[in-house]
Amino acid sequence: MTSNEPQAARLYGGWRRSRTLGIGHLNTGQTAIVVLSILLPIFIANFGGMATLGITLPLALVVIVLAVWQRHGMPLLDLAIGRARWQWAATRGETSYRGIYQPHPRVLDLPGVLAPTKLLRVEDTGGGGPVGLVWNQATGQMAATLLLSPGGALLANRHTVETQVSSWGDTLAALANEESVDAATVTIQVTPSSGAALADHVRERMRTSAPDLAKSTVRELVASAPRASASMLAWFTLVTSPGRAADRPDNPAEAAAETLRRLDGVDLSGAGADVFRRATDTDLVRMVRGAFVPGDLDAPEAQMAALTWDQAGPSAAEEEWTTYRHDGHVSLSWVLREAPRKPVPYSVLLPLLAPGRFPRRITLGYRILPTEEASAVVEREVNASDARAEYRRRTQRSTTRRERADAEAAERNATQEAYGSGMAQWTIHVTVTATPDTLTAAERELETAAKQAGGLRFRPAYGGQAAAFTAGLPVGIHPLA
């Protein structure tokens, strides 16, 4: 007997922030600061007399408040230290970049964390054509990129999309068995378009002998396209450390071959995205240059092929506390603050991917934990949860619903890992680029899209705008790597 009742849509959840041992909601670092702030005034008073408490106690209270009180999901003490470090770097000129004034032999350097990178052009002996690799000479990591053609989920049935989500999970889990893989990122770049290119494309290809109804329908679609037209570029970047491979490479050529082998082993066939091809060195130059100067994203192929790696970056850049200025444009980057607490559907990211007035780049970064490390992580999480429960029992404090849910999630993760499930650390970076006079409108558009993204909570990348901007590029720079 069959039933025609529609099945409920599958929801996804169970994410939790990694937590260490600590008192209550505090982590290990916060707990240590609080304990030291309490003990230090007593220790000083034993040697300097009770009069010292008039100075040490207020200072201790200030430190405790800064360590415990949070803003944007971060302790105020961390924000204060980060602000001081950024201000010190700005005072020394480390947040400014002027490419035309770089001294020899650093004339080919790119700004910030891009400085140690080098673009390699590798000829595929298997007939696949040239491939571009980004080599980080400081860390030894290499990044290879696949250009994707996402199929989209709006017109697909729910079962197909849920199968694709499951296949993507299998793809990530398979990376845990690759000893040289450090991280993987998926980036979607949405660039608004006036619709003129679409109109010209349709006009040139419309047959005069076509039925009037077909021609009128196409004209109507083209006429409505400019208000919501956008071009989409998607890519998958694999970050590897060839030096950790079983057959340790002896030179950059062998390291490049190892990276390409790992890239070719990534199976995206069932994840809802077709692999267009492997990115060439010209493709990488185009994507990096197009991020700094959005107008160059559609530049002619010959123009991009003529650029060297240093010319892919900006001629000038200035990193500020909450923005990043480069070549007449301003970018604002946000990072994930908190994952949804409740289960969400597969369409949770669609508001961020919807076309807007300004170029937007959304990057999902993953670090797949090796089996041994994943086991140690879940054990540490369960032990930390048990320690917090014991602290609440001894202090006779009742358990909140959120604490119970977090403890259950830690136990569930440990159980799933014990039965062979993989574990990944992940994050999201969102960057919007505008001109100085339209930055306010771009920020408002990003805030609106972020609020509609099903419980995902973001915050500006305070003091790390240049790094967050670069994390969305196919260059292998990723905070989880």
Token pair 């080919």: residue: 108
Looking only at Cα atoms, what is the longest distance across the chain?
100
When the pLDDT of each residue in the chain is averaged and rounded to a whole number, the result is: 83
What's the pLDDT at 454? 77
What's the pLDDT at 201? 66
**Is the pLDDT score of 209 beyond 50?**
yes
Share of the chain above pLDDT 70, in %: 89
Mean pLDDT calculated for residue range 225-242:
80
What's the pLDDT at 12? 83
Among the listed residues 239, 442, 423, the one whose alpha carbon sits nearest the alpha carbon of residue 334: 442
Please give the single-letter amino acid code of residue 256: A
Two tokens at 203?
């006009």
Contact 192, 357 (CB under 8 A): yes
Lowest mean pLDDT of 24-28, 187-191, 236-240, name the range.
24-28
State pLDDT tens for residues 37-58: 888 888 888 888 888 888 888 8
What's the pLDDT at 8? 66
* Higher per-residue confidence, 172 vs 394: 172
**Is the pLDDT score of 5 beyond 50?**
no
**Is the pLDDT score of 104 beyond 60?**
no
What's the pLDDT at 2? 46
Domain ranges of the chain: 110-471
State pLDDT tens for residues 367-426: 888 777 777 777 777 777 777 777 777 777 777 777 777 777 777 777 777 766 777 888
